[in-house]
Chain A
Amino acid sequence: MTAISLPQEDGADAARQSARQAEVAEALSRVLPASALLVRREDTAPYECDGLTAFKAVPMAVVLPENETQLVAVLKVCHALGVPVIARGAGTGLSGGALPHRLGVTLSLAKFNRILKVDPLSCTAVVQCGVRNLAISEAAAPYGLYYAPDPSSQIACTIGGNVAENSGGVHCLKYGMTLHNVLKIRGFTAEGEPVEFGSEALDAPGIDLLAVVIGSEGMLAITTEVTVKLVPKPELARCMVASFPTIESAGSAVASVIARGIVPAGLELMDQRMTAVAEDYVHAGYDLSAAALLLCESDGTEEEVADEVAAMKRVLEESGASRIEVSQDEAQRLKFWSGRKNAFPASGGISPDYMCMDSTIPRKRLAEMLLAIQAMESKYQLQCVNVFHAGDGNLHPLILFDANDRDQFRRCELFGAEILEASLKLGGTVTGEHGVGVEKLNSMCVQFSAAELEQFVAVKRAFDPAGMLNPGKVIPTLARCAEYGKMHVHRGMMPFPELPRY
């Protein structure tokens, strides 16, 4: 994918930056072993972006501390020199939250990768921030326990990154997001002071800072250790695939399931084109004639699952399902899920690039939203395939485009922004689980007032007065909003169309 190039610096600027880099590298080299400090362009290049490859920047340095002592030393050096610190886990984030800062240091926490404790008695695990999401469930499996949030990148993504983004997954409808499954965080302030949020007890004294640190995209503190809640593995899980003749009937089926008081372990929707793409990729045996497929999972004891499957089947039939298939064994259940879990890579196979949106809307507006997206496809002359965490109204439309074609990229960005604004009009939010990062800065201007954005800035300052941790993410400047606001008012028409634009 082509990177969006940042403004070119002039020669004097480049010289200044190079001197600054030397100064910072020299200071860091005094507190880190040589192997933990990368400054050469070819060494830092792999860190130039995260999972959102459309945005790239080269950091002044990448540091990979091996322990807390080195980490504290890095933070103190950066704080003293006024150098931004951008924490990074596995770099799988989808909103550019770990995009490097041109004048900053990227702090890779990859070496904090030990599982410190799995306690089957209290149903908790204490892990370092660089431990992979799936590795926690693997370590807990011998005790019949697992860690519930399962972002699609769970093989690779780290718990520290999950904490930063408040990640979800297909099972968060029933089991909650990262916030609902983390008890305690140990970390460091921007100044390098140790700090703990939350408790291994069920609450902690004072204001619930854990709630705001989780999902703060590395802007409030650096997380090094996380105590997570483990939940008993259900005795049984079964998955249903239901075919619907229209988008509307699938959308209303979702609302009806929830309205009936059922909380499925997963409730996912794929539109016809997504189904075809996924089927081609994994051969799950999906019904290609359906306008939309719903995947509904039930888990629990044998009795609970039998009850719930019967209840869901009834609702789906009443809502007009033309075909319902229930998994008969674990192999079939995993096969049903394989297409959904591979929706993104499958889409990557049919288009040079795609842009993944992540808004959330009230469930009852799902069909309305899908129809609106169809209209946008003709407006922007780009295709969009849709896969939704339908149970909680979280949409992942994937807009297909070719980044080598500048005009396609421009149309894709406008398409994406229109989806987000439509989501807000339907009573939703611009991001459900991927985070704002740099990608949705403009949309934040639409969702929040100037006073609300200022309050976010004040929260940031309360934790990080000097503004050293991941600056420039999540909260757009008011100047940026003013500029975007102008464009927004004119509905995609540039103001003063006769003037040249760069």
Chain B
Amino acid sequence: MAAAGINRDAAVERLRDRILEARGRRMSLDIRGGNTKAFYGETPRGEPLGLAELTGISSYEPSELVVTVRAGTPLIELEAVLAERGQCLAFEPPRFAPGGTVGGMVAAGLAGPARAAAGPLRDYVLGATILNGRGELLTFGGQVMKNVAGYDVSRLIAGSWGVLGVLCEVSLKVLASKVDSATLAFDWDERRALTEMARWNALPLPLSASAWHDGCLRVRLSGAAAAVRSACRKLGGTELDPGIARGWWKSVRDHDHPFFRPDEAALAGGECLWRISVPPATQVLEQAGFIGWGGAERWWRTNAPAHRIRSIAAAAQGHATLVRAADKSAGAFAPLGESLMRIHRALKSAFDPDRVFNAGRLYADL
């Protein structure tokens, strides 16, 4: 059953009409929130389907740790409302530019520096209401913490880049913001940093983020004041000024850090920004670049050919995403094996039989 309200929302009715009309014309729609992630993934195609009319927080129960939001709601608006009650989205979704929406956040499924400690976005999705390719308004999951009624479709939607349906409303688990936080810096080379991060990951420490770049490992500890202080004493290093540390972690989260923004000239010259996702304890790979998520994310800027990067990632049991490049003909996302691709195609048909949504946004034939 759809959540009270969303099924009577006139904006949803208009979206449904657009979907059915596009379906009739065999047209593809490009689902758009704030259009802040157009650079990520494959190039959007089709007629824009905006969600600007579908906004607002439908319900927020701080004591239940649940917020239900319409998909077109600006992410910064949601974060401000949560912050007023001392709560947050624990996975630190990136805000690549102002104007990003909650729907875009869920569709992309990306997470910031806290990911390794806090878990991925999908862990925080409790329920979702979508319009599928037949224009049916469907609700999966709910607003409670534990729910195994039926397949977990709301979490399937998270990170699916809009290829399965239009997200209309989502219920998210929120958490209390950590009381205290401290960032320690260590002037270590990449090898030493990776070794120590792996060692610390296995200890009961209040680690909330760790990243290495340019000869410096930064480690963030968050939690109860006493626990943070005690961990600082255990780890050593140099404690950064809290304001500077906050700014630095924000620059990593939102990709304001210059490493993530190669300029036009560099891109035109063939340089690419790669995100290589590997098991966190993976040792030094060919290049250093920027290491995040306690070793699980390796960001490289390189002119090396895609097949070479992808084979390095695969050899490390990981995968590589071509995030920023002038030419993405090698595919933005790592290609899938045949059995997984068959399931992907069949799932696409199950939700969107006439290929109305985000054609080619994730893989060419979805």
Q: Which residues of A contact B (CB under 8 A)?
A: 119-124, 143-145, 165-166, 168, 172-173, 176-177, 179-180, 189, 193-196, 199-209, 211-212, 214-216, 220, 232-235, 255-256, 258-259, 261, 263, 300-304, 306-308, 360-364, 389, 392-394, 427-436, 440, 443-444, 447-449, 451-452, 455-456, 458-463, 465, 474-475
Contact = CB atoms under 8 A, between A and B. Distances in A.
Given A261-B176, A301-B204, A202 B148 contact: no
Contacts of A459: 151, 153, 156, 347, 350
Interface stretch (B118-126, B210-218, B238-246): B118-126
A269 B333 CA distance: 47
A431 B136 CA distance: 25
Give the most central of A212, A440, A460: most B CB within 10 Å. Answer: A212
Contact of B318 (A122, A201, A302, A363): A201
A119 B201 CA distance: 12
B120 A202 contact: yes
A303 B155 contact: no
Interface in B309-337: 317-319, 321, 333-336
Given A208-B109, A211-B155, A458-B350, A436 B136 contact: no
B265 interface: no
11 contacts: A121-B202, A179-B123, A202-B120, A207-B362, A216-B152, A302-B230, A304-B224, A362-B66, A389-B146, A429-B146, A456-B153
B278 interface: yes
Given A195-B339, A201-B319, A206-B340, A434 B148 contact: yes
A122 B279 contact: yes
Nearest to B143: A427
A206 B204 contact: no
Interface stretch (B27-35, B57-65, B70-78): B57-65
Interface string B213-236: 000000000011111011100000
A206 B362 contact: yes
Most buried by A among B152, B156, B176, B362: B152
A304 B362 contact: no
B140 interface: yes
Given A206-B336, A429-B142, A304 B226 contact: yes
B250 interface: no
- The residue among A189, A232, A451, A462 with the most chain B CB atoms within 10 A of its own CB is A462
B252 interface: no
B349 interface: yes
Question: Which one of A179, A300, A301 has the highest number of Cβ atoms from chain B below 10 Å of its Cβ?
Answer: A301
A180 B148 CA distance: 13
Contact of B175 (A209, A263, A392, A455): A263
A448 B156 contact: no
Contact of B339 (A193, A234, A434, A436): A193
A392 B148 contact: no
Interface in B65-113: 65-66, 86-87, 109
A431 B277 contact: no
Contact of A474 (B142, B150, B296, B349): B150
A436 B148 CA distance: 8
A316 to B, nearest CB: 16
Contact of B343 (A173, A204, A463): A463
Q: Which 3 A-B pairs have the closest CB atoms?
A: A261-B176, A259-B63, A303-B226
Given A201-B318, A209-B340, 4 more contacts: A179-B152, A195-B339, A202-B120, A208-B109
B115 interface: yes
A201 B296 contact: yes
Given A202-B120, A452-B138, A452-B139, A301 B227 contact: yes
Contact of B145 (A212, A308, A392, A465): A392
Nearest to A191: B339
Interface stretch (B14-22, B45-53, B157-165, B253-261): B157-165
Contacts of B335: 205
A289 to B, nearest CB: 29
Contacts of B148: 165-166, 215, 429, 431-436
Nearest to A257: B63
A122 B226 contact: no
Contacts of A234: 204
Interface string B197-213: 01001111110000000
A461 B115 CA distance: 33
A411 B303 CA distance: 71
Given A307-B226, A362-B143, A392-B144, A199 B152 contact: no
A202 B333 CA distance: 15
B149 A440 contact: yes
B37 interface: no
A429 B151 CA distance: 13
A272 to B, nearest CB: 25
A258 B203 contact: no
A393 B202 contact: no
A297 to B, nearest CB: 15
Contacts of B343: 189, 195, 209, 462-463
Contacts of A427: 142-144
Given A195-B340, A452-B139, A429 B160 contact: no
